[in-house]
Chains A and B, each alone.
Chain A
Amino acid sequence: MKRVYVNEKWCLGCHLCEYYCAFAATGKDDMARALKGVKLRPRIHIEGDEKGSDLKNVTFAVSCRHCTEPLCVKGCITGALTKTDGVISVDKDKCVGCYTCVLSCPYGCIQGTDEGAVDKCELCVSTREGTPRCVAGCPNAAIVFEER
């Protein structure tokens, strides 16, 4: 199945993917209005340029790998996390916010939210565009959505 991959050779660490991701999640059509003054909760994160990182000139975007054997789904105590057609999604009504998945994800791609339920990349399947916004917004084609 098609997944989101990042090629760190071309990742510029501009962080725009995070903003396009957060924007896609809002469902609004104006980015400035959607994100102005809002605390960002992107499901994709640039790593490598944190303070104290010893990586030199290497940054890369990390988002849910939609693992073949997903530990998060296995560990979910309420059945809120499921894998359908290769996409792991969270049912926010079922999630009780126990964060077992947050602890078990080896990539750190699931995050808690202020509302209690967890949040993760769902490949934009339910957004307006229906296709990953981080990929479309990457200025250097470092993030790709493809079969491998």
Chain B
Amino acid sequence: MAVNYVYPDYEVVRNYDKCINCRACERQCANEAHTYVEEIDKVTSDDAKCVNCHRCVSLCPTRALKIVKTDHTFKTNASWSATNINEVYKQAETGGVLLSSMGNPNPFPIYWDKMLLNASQVTNPSIDPLREPMETRVFLGAKSQEIRRDKNGRLIDDTSPHLTLSMPVMFSAMSYGSISYNAHESLARASKELGIFYNTGEGGLHEDFYIYGGNTVVQVASGRFGVHKGYLDAAAAVEIKMGQGAKPGIGGHLPGVKIGEDVSRTRMIPVGADAISPAPHHDIYSIEDLRQLVFSLKEATAYSKPVIVKIAAVHNVAAIASGVARSGADIIAIDGFRGGTGAAPTRIRDNVGIPIELALASVDARLRSEGIRDRVSVVAAGSIRNSADVVKAIALGADAVYIATAAVLALGCHLCRTCNLGNCNWGIATQRPELVKRLNPDVGYKRLVNLMTAWKHEIEEMMGGMGINSIESLKGNRLMLRGVGLNEKELEVLGIKHAGE
């Protein structure tokens, strides 16, 4: 194009004193940002092609490369930031809806960082998790309303089906198609080793992974891709996806180029056909309709598996969750506005939904006030970044959390937010075979196991500090939280006191 309105956001900086012309960067960049030029015997880079995924930086054996934010600038303008200006340029050029990947990157308040945890001092003993037993196991599903005994005094065990997790974390839904075969294998193997669960997302379950079914949550979404009896039978639980935090109120679109042979068979759609998930489920327009699907799935699985309903955190989330709890769902998953995605319209991702912290607190409070909290477990999702976020979510009332962004980070993702282009240099969000093979599941699953093991240790440390030896005692224990820098209303919604109170 004759006029380049948009200057690249990031620049590749190469230290030619260190570059040994090994050309690993050139070979590894799927965006072809690096080129070896024979005449000058040097590797050069095209900043406009770089997506800042750090693949070259991570592999460069002499650390000759780094990516820097450009200092090229517009005249400073608080209203018309470079982002705003460049987006106008892009749309003026293409006439299209802007697409983005991963979670909302904008500087909205992060309430996790405005809540602090308690610790025991003097009057109540803290516990050393290295010396004393710590229980991090959680059970997800409806709890019995009362204890009943038969005429001999024995407990009547008619508890509805549960998921048992070794720690209160699960890998959230990412479909086969949006992520690669090797990424799914890594998640599945890690879940099995850890005693937790991963979620197939809406793309069906590849037949190779049925062996991990005991650690698999299968999803039934508005597109109903890959849903059949074997799929439901293989799983430990079934999740109905009503919404996603990154794009509440809209559906999904996996482009045809990502629908190869394997993805096609798994999704049960033709090769090369776009996989379009409608915005709503066309058979669900009310809680009663949802109840029909919940019980259809329960019926189909002989009431042997819990049913999860996943909703995006939106303005009336508490009332919606109350309805969902009454629909017969065993578990409600709530996905906050920072949750990730393989592709979403930028305006939706950045402007729709509410923070998970506030949604979680209000849902838990609402369900308790209505006396139906025991009927469902609550799973919080949408930018749980570390073990402290997990502990805070539990204290706010979650039974467990879903993580996905953290999981793909463990697999190598560098949050370059260009999943939608399908050229993932780390072999995660791509279906190109030469890129998929870059993620060796032997390495990937181990990294996931390491991450979760580390978080488990940290969760135990934080619990021990609070004098709590079982995660169940932490659940909804908001006295363990104090807010800093929050206003009265925020504290009220979160149901916590301010630090110093």
Q: Is A3 an interface residue (CB 8 A)?
A: no
Residue in contact with A139 in the complex, picked from B22, B59, B64, CB distance below 8 Å: B59
- Name the residue on B nearest A12 (C-beta): B438
Chain B min CB distance to A32 (Å)? 4
Contact A10 B440 (CB under 8 A): yes
Query: Which residues in A have their C-beta under 8 angstroms from that of B148?
Result: none
- Name the residue on A nearest B64 (C-beta): A32
Q: Which residues A8-46 have CB closer than 8 A to chain B?
A: 9-10, 12-16, 18-20, 23, 31-32, 35-36
Query: Which residues in B have their C-beta under 8 angstroms from that of A35?
Result: 20, 22, 62
Contact B22 A16 (CB under 8 A): yes
With contacts A36-B20, A141-B442 taken as known, whether A16 is within 8 angstroms of B62 at the C-beta atoms is no
Distance, CA A57 to CA B433, complexed state (A)? 8
Q: Is A77 an interface residue (CB 8 A)?
A: no
Number of interface residues of A (CB under 8 A): 21
- Name the residue on A nearest B25 (C-beta): A14
With contacts A12-B437, A19-B22, A57-B433 taken as known, whether A32 is within 8 angstroms of B28 at the C-beta atoms is no
Contact B23 A15 (CB under 8 A): yes
Q: Which residues A107-148 have CB closer than 8 A to chain B?
A: 137, 139-142
Chain B min CB distance to A31 (Å)? 5
Contact B20 A141 (CB under 8 A): no
Query: Which residues in B have their C-beta under 8 angstroms from that of A31?
Result: 20, 61-62
With contacts A14-B24, A15-B22, A16-B24 taken as known, whether A32 is within 8 angstroms of B437 at the C-beta atoms is no
Distance, CA A31 to CA B59, complexed state (A)? 14
Query: Which residues in A have their C-beta under 8 angstroms from that of B28?
Result: 12, 14
Q: Which residues A54-78 have CB closer than 8 A to chain B?
A: 57
Residue in contact with B440 in the complex, picked from A19, A23, A57, A141, CB distance below 8 Å: A141
Query: Which residues in A have their C-beta under 8 angstroms from that of B442?
Result: 141
Q: Is B443 an interface residue (CB 8 A)?
A: yes
Residue in contact with A16 in the complex, picked from B18, B59, B437, CB distance below 8 Å: B59
Q: Which residues B433-456 have CB closer than 8 A to chain A?
A: 433-434, 437-438, 440, 442-443
Query: Which residues in A have their C-beta under 8 angstroms from that of B440?
Result: 10, 140-142
Contact B61 A10 (CB under 8 A): no
Chain A min CB distance to B500 (Å)? 50
Chain B min CB distance to A18 (Å)? 8
Contact A16 B61 (CB under 8 A): yes
Query: Which residues in B have their C-beta under 8 angstroms from that of A141?
Result: 440, 442-443
Distance, CA A90 to CA B20, complexed state (A)? 28
Distance, CA A15 to CA B20, complexed state (A)? 13
Chain B min CB distance to A69 (Å)? 32
With contacts A10-B440, A12-B437, A57-B434 taken as known, whether A137 is within 8 angstroms of B61 at the C-beta atoms is yes
Chain B min CB distance to A146 (Å)? 12
Chain A min CB distance to B414 (Å)? 14
Chain B min CB distance to A35 (Å)? 5
Q: Is B93 an interface residue (CB 8 A)?
A: no
Query: Which residues in B have their C-beta under 8 angstroms from that of A13?
Result: 27
Distance, CA A141 to CA B438, complexed state (A)? 10
Distance, CA A142 to CA B437, complexed state (A)? 10
Distance, CA A36 to CA B15, complexed state (A)? 12
Contact B24 A15 (CB under 8 A): yes
Contact A15 B27 (CB under 8 A): yes
Query: Which residues in B have their C-beta under 8 angstroms from that of A140?
Result: 437-438, 440, 443
Chain B min CB distance to A129 (Å)? 14
Query: Which residues in A have their C-beta under 8 angstroms from that of B433?
Result: 57
Distance, CA A137 to CA B17, complexed state (A)? 21
Query: Which residues in A have their C-beta under 8 angstroms from that of B437?
Result: 9-10, 12, 57, 140
> Which of A9, A16, A141 has most chain B Cβ within 10 Å?
A16
**Please, what's the 1-or-0 string for A77-98, where 1 marks a CB less than 8 Å from any CB in chain B?**
0000000000000000000000
Query: Which residues in A have their C-beta under 8 angstroms from that of B24?
Result: 14-16, 19
Distance, CA A20 to CA B24, complexed state (A)? 12
Q: Which residues B377-404 have CB closer than 8 A to chain A?
A: none
Contacts A9-B437, A13-B27, A32-B18 known; list 18 others, CB within 8 Å: A15-B22, A15-B24, A16-B22, A19-B20, A19-B24, A19-B61, A23-B61, A31-B20, A31-B61, A32-B17, A32-B19, A32-B20, A36-B18, A57-B433, A57-B434, A139-B59, A140-B437, A140-B440
Residues of A within 8 A of B (CB): 9-10, 12-16, 18-20, 23, 31-32, 35-36, 57, 137, 139-142
A-B contact pairs, 20 of them (CB 8 A): A9-B437, A12-B28, A12-B437, A13-B27, A16-B24, A19-B61, A20-B61, A32-B17, A32-B18, A32-B20, A35-B20, A35-B22, A35-B62, A36-B18, A36-B20, A57-B433, A137-B61, A140-B443, A141-B442, A141-B443
Smallest CB-CB A-B distances: 9 pairs: A32-B18, A32-B62, A35-B20, A10-B440, A19-B22, A140-B440, A14-B24, A31-B62, A57-B434
